[in-house]
Amino acid sequence: MVTKTAAQSATPTTTPTADGARQTTYREALREAHRDALKRDPRVFLMGEDVGRYGGSFAVSLGLLEEFGPERIRDAPLSESAFTGAGIGAALGGMRPIVEIMTVNFSLLALDQILNNAATLLHMSGGQLAVPLVVRMTTGAGRQLAAQHSHSLEGWYAHIPGLRVLAPATIEDARGMLWPALEDPDPVLIFEHGSLYNLAGTLPDGAAEVDISRAAIRRVGSDVTVIAYSGGLGKALAAADLLAAEGIQAEVIDLRVLRPLDDDTILGSVRRTHQVVIVDEGWRSGGLSAEIAARIAEQAFYDLDAPIERVCGAEVPIPYAKHMEEAALPQPADIVAAARRAVAPNG
């Protein structure tokens, strides 16, 4: 049901195609996932800053307040710790809350609740208190929002036992990850890349749920494995096109799940291609790319024909100026260059 407010959205409307698939956007797919979950389970509710009257700071929840009312679409004060902790308590009390935090940088104000309570209570209580909470937040750069709205800190969260960390990079995952995340008895963090909300594409008919335990091979290739996730996936696929023009066939893995990492898919690909490039918008030092590189080195060292390449965000706070921000982020040309180095004879 499209409400009056939703109809006023500037985003394109969902259009069915002949085979039942639909043209839609990442944002609309997320909204549809919320609407579906709210209809399927009365325990589900959404809570966060500006999720109701405003329609969501990135318009994900536009129209949901009118459709589901203020009890289930709850505008919260600017109190990240309080409303995230309230999500934890509500989960303990039998609800299935979705907490929206505006950006990952703001989530640091709720880090105590996420780490010390959500991720910890089950173990600390000897298995008594599971926390079926979903926390969604925006991550990533590319919109000239400077150094306090642009960082990619999902790697930090992927460090924490007790959490499942998801990073939808496609419209299908934007649509399909929320419901299984709500079914997970433990806390799940979903990172939505800010530059993907307007991503347009086709959603297959009936796409409503996806596997939230596995990575996906988005492009098959035999020469080099390019591992990416979230906003990095599109860049990796663009790089693969450029590499194909040079005769280099890149296999592109979309991690999708940052914790627990799907070692099987990663290692299986590396064992076929023998070269690997890891793309991570987050910082290189102590980051997710380092963890993946370490696992490959630990488990597939003798399958490698070249050193592991990493293409990461520059180790700077993200700057505002467009040319500087672009320079700070992995770009397709950087991925192409890294892949060329990896496949070059004799390293």
Q: Which residues bind other proteins (CB under 8 A)?
A: 45, 71, 76-77, 79, 81-95, 97, 112-113, 116-117, 121-130, 161-162, 164, 180, 183-186, 212-213, 259-260
> What gap in Å lies between CA 248 and CA 103, rounded to an integer?
37
3-class SS letters over 43-64: CEEEEECCCCCCCCCCCCCCCH
Give the nearest distance from C-beta 161 to other proteins in angstroms.
5
Q: Is the dihedral of CA 250, 254, 259, 261 positive or negative?
A: negative
**Toward other proteins, which CB reaches closer, 8 or 125?**
125
**Toward other proteins, which CB reaches closer, 47 or 248?**
47
**Toward other proteins, which CB reaches closer, 162 or 201?**
162
Closest CA to 80 of 46, 51, 108, 116: 108
Give the nearest distance from C-beta 241 to other proteins in angstroms.
33
Q: How many alpha carbons lie under 13 Å from residue 270 in its C-beta half-sphere?
A: 28
Give the nearest distance from C-beta 337 to other proteins in angstroms.
34
Residue 149 known to be catalytic: yes
Give the nearest distance from C-beta 150 to other proteins in angstroms.
24
Residue 274 known to be catalytic: no
**Toward other proteins, which CB reaches closer, 294 or 327?**
294
- The helix (run of H) or strand (run of E) holding residue 242 is helix 231-245
List 80, 154, 251, 325, catalytic entry: 80
Phi/psi of residue 288, nearest 5 degrees? -60, -40
List 32, 67, 149, 193, catalytic entry: 149
Strand order in the sheet with 15-16: 15-16, 22-25, 200-203
Question: Is residue 52 within 8 Å of 70, Cβ to Cβ?
Answer: yes
Give exposure, 223-253, as e/b (b: 16+ Cβ within 10 Å).
bbbbbbbbbbbbbbbbbbeebeeeebbbbbb
**Toward other proteins, which CB reaches closer, 112 or 303?**
112
Known catalytic residues are 80, 149
